[in-house]
Amino acid sequence: MHRRKLPIGIQTFTKMREEDYYYVDKTGFIRQLIEEGNQYFLSRPRRFGKSLLLDTIGELFAGNEPLFRGLTIHPHWDWSVRHPVIRISFGGGVIRHPSELDARIGELLDENCERLGVKVEAPSLAGRFARLIQAAHATRGQRAVVLVDEYDKPILDNLADSETARALRDGLRNLYSVIKDQDAHVRFAFITGVSKFGKVSIFSGLNNLRDITVSANYSALCGYREQDVEMVFAPELEGLNRAEIRRWYNGYNWLGETVYNPFDLLLLFRERDFRAFWFETGTPTFLVELLTERGYFTPELAELYASEALLSAFDVDHLASEALLWQTGYLTFAGSRRTGARREYRLGYPNLEVQSALNDALLKGLMGDLMSAERAQSRLYDVLVAGDFAALRAHVESLFAAIPHQWHDGHPIARYEGFYASVFYSHIAALGLDLTPEDASSHGRLDLALRFNGQVWLFEFKVVESAPEDRALQQIKARGYAEKYRAAGQPIHLIGVEFSRERRSLVGFEVETLGIDSDSEAANWPMA
């Protein structure tokens, strides 16, 4: 099989087609878009191929026929018609002030004028943009195509400074409103970005802009489908475990076909090793700080429920945690249902990469000490493999003892069970093990259930007064949490963990093991 070049970081359609790179044909989707409408908005996480998609659309409307030979859309397109294409992208550089935004918009308008061979003047940037669209139509004899890439980057780069973010949002809203006003001169418009800001906040007046972010028909518009991997990248699959590729990198879904992140797969094919390639290119510092500050209960990340209204209400002044996690790609759709007039979505991790890497980052944020978190991670796996409960007790004790007292003092959530469950959950989830938080049964909800090394580990956490009260283990036993696991025929460890509200440390650690052949074999490890 012929091996082509891997298009890592390639966002130019011409280069992809002319220089023997692998290319996943998205022109069938593009044809469908053009036949169904003419103005669209799409939100997708970073490094999902949005820029390449826009460049492909631009080359199509520009009539560059040789580039499309052999692709789905080629026999269905009128190559004699060529439209002027206006391209706006905020992908390069970081903008920190409204004056910098104005300067960048001015540069982009100048670049388009020079490329299209037109000259326009107006006292305002919005006016210049409007006249650019009009002049492109008049000069070329065909209505303009307007493509906006990373429309939201100036805002996202400044989310930690809400005043600046609001000012930049208002400046961008002023620019984008031109597209609606110039509808008579626009053949096609497509706007992409990472976030899905509320239409009122940034797309005010653009009521003809169709949002296809959550559209089953376009779930795979960006990203690689399973069939793409099998057919296009067949030469690269030799020697790689297909099940592991799916477990690590597949799983992104927008209520339609599930896709892989392209960046992950291309790096995997080059390095031939499973790593958190996508996550490592943009560690979510702001997100981690926000979730930590809000005392977010991290076990909920494995299965979270959010309404359509909540996910669509994202704005500078209302950064809903669920919307931020979903839009940035750290959570994805795992299902949906209608409850009366309300649409409800079930969210979860897309794959092992995100589960492991995000929880590693969250653990470090929760603990407030990067080195302590790193050392704890290196110890935990060996302790679990050994099945040494005395060592596990010592590990848990040292894990929470390593959290600085000033962190406790500054974060009231450290006094509640959710904090301890969050730290321990993220600690295990960062290892990528088979972990179920808040595992529900007819008896209630268990804090954590771990299946590992042919054994089942059931954890319950309690915050008590100064002295251990043995309530955590008793709750596991009294509610019969182990019953649903007996059929597996594996040893089941019931582990009650208790923390002192006053001392802010581990004060109780009880274990009881239920053997395979007997009702129970007690192995108690009380705190000294």
How far is Cα 314 from Cα 322, in angstroms, rounded to an integer?
10
How far is Cα 240 from Cα 224, in angstroms, rounded to an integer?
17
The pLDDT tens digits for 342-351 are 889 999 999 9
**Residue appearing with tokens 């400046």:** 171
pLDDT band at 201; cut points 50, 70, 90 = low
Q: Does the residue 528 lie in any domain?
A: no
Please state the rounded mean pLDDT for residues 72-95: 96
- 112 versus 447: the higher-pLDDT residue is 112
Buried b (16+ CB within 10 A) or exposed e, 230-262: eebbeebeeeeeeeebbebbbbbbbeebbbbbb
Q: Does the residue 223 lie in any domain?
A: no
How far is Cα 166 from Cα 173, in angstroms, rounded to an integer?
10
CB 151 within 8 A of CB 179: no
CA nearest 373: which of 361, 389, 388, 357? 361
How far is Cα 77 from Cα 68, in angstroms, rounded to an integer?
10
CB 175 within 8 A of CB 105: yes
| CA distances to 21, 239, 266, 277, 425 from 270, in Å | 13, 12, 6, 11, 33
Check whether 97 has a pLDDT greater than 50: yes
Query: Domain count of the chain?
Result: 2
The amino acid occupying position 133 is I
Which CATH number covers residue 91? 3.40.50
Q: Does the residue 3 lie in any domain?
A: no
Q: What's residue 418's pLDDT?
A: 74
Check whether 408 has a pLDDT greater than 50: no
Write out the residue range of the structural domain in which residue 74 sits.
25-218
Q: Does the residue 352 lie in any domain?
A: no
Q: What's residue 516's pLDDT?
A: 62
How far is Cα 489 from Cα 375, in angstroms, rounded to an integer?
34
From the centroid of its chain, how far is CA 472? Answer: 34
How far does the chain reach from its first CA to its final CA, in angstroms? 65
Q: Does the residue 318 lie in any domain?
A: no
pLDDT band at 165; cut points 50, 70, 90 = very high
Which tokens in the block code for residue 25?
Answer: 């044909």
| CA distances to 31, 233, 478, 504 from 209, in Å | 18, 35, 56, 53
Q: Does the residue 421 lie in any domain?
A: yes
Q: Which of 161, 191, 218 is the last residue of a domain?
A: 218
Q: Does the residue 249 lie in any domain?
A: no
Q: Which of 198, 218, 238 is the last residue of a domain?
A: 218
Check whether 229 has a pLDDT greater than 60: yes
Which CATH number covers residue 422? 3.40.1350
Please state the rounded mean pLDDT for residues 507-525: 67
How far is Cα 70 from Cα 268, in angstroms, rounded to an integer?
27
Q: Does the residue 334 lie in any domain?
A: no
Indicate if the alpha-carbon torsion angle 182, 183, 184, 185 is positive or negative: positive
Q: Which of 188, 218, 248 is the last residue of a domain?
A: 218
CA nearest 262: which of 202, 209, 205, 220? 220
Give the DSSP H or E segment for 462: strand 455-464
* pTM, two decimal places: 0.91
CA nearest 510: which of 475, 484, 479, 486? 475
Please state the rounded mean pLDDT for residues 200-215: 78
Which region among 164-173, 260-269, 511-520 has the lowest average model confidence (pLDDT)?
511-520
